[in-house]
Amino acid sequence: MTTQATLTIWVGDKAFGIQIKPVTAKANFGNYSATERMKASFDDFTKKFGGQVFVVFSIDDKIKNEEVIEQIANEIKRLTK
């Protein structure tokens, strides 16, 4: 199985994934939608490792969808229970 995670981060015996998507100046990441293949891969990752895969949008080495930071923090808390 090929997962769509760029990074796999372990929290105890479970893991979550982060997929980093560089965004060009002309791209609109607000309209981003995961493809069905990606959704299936994310689901496979969750079944295998227990955690979600988060998509991080990067422009000039900065996170543009900063709300993902809180979502990742919440996932870490959930996985440590």
| Among candidate residues 62, 66, 76, the one with its CA nearest the CA of residue 17 | 76
Integer CA distances (angstroms), 24 to 20, 41, 67, in order: 13, 24, 19
| Among candidate residues 4, 51, 62, the one with its CA nearest the CA of residue 29 | 62
Q: What is the pLDDT, as a whole number, of residue 75?
A: 98
pTM of the model: 0.80
If one compares 37 and 59, the residue with the highest pLDDT of the two is 59
If one compares 18 and 41, the residue with the highest pLDDT of the two is 18
Tokens of 2: 């090929």
User: What are the tens digits of pLDDT across the range 2-36?
Assistant: 456 789 999 999 999 999 888 874 455 555 566 77
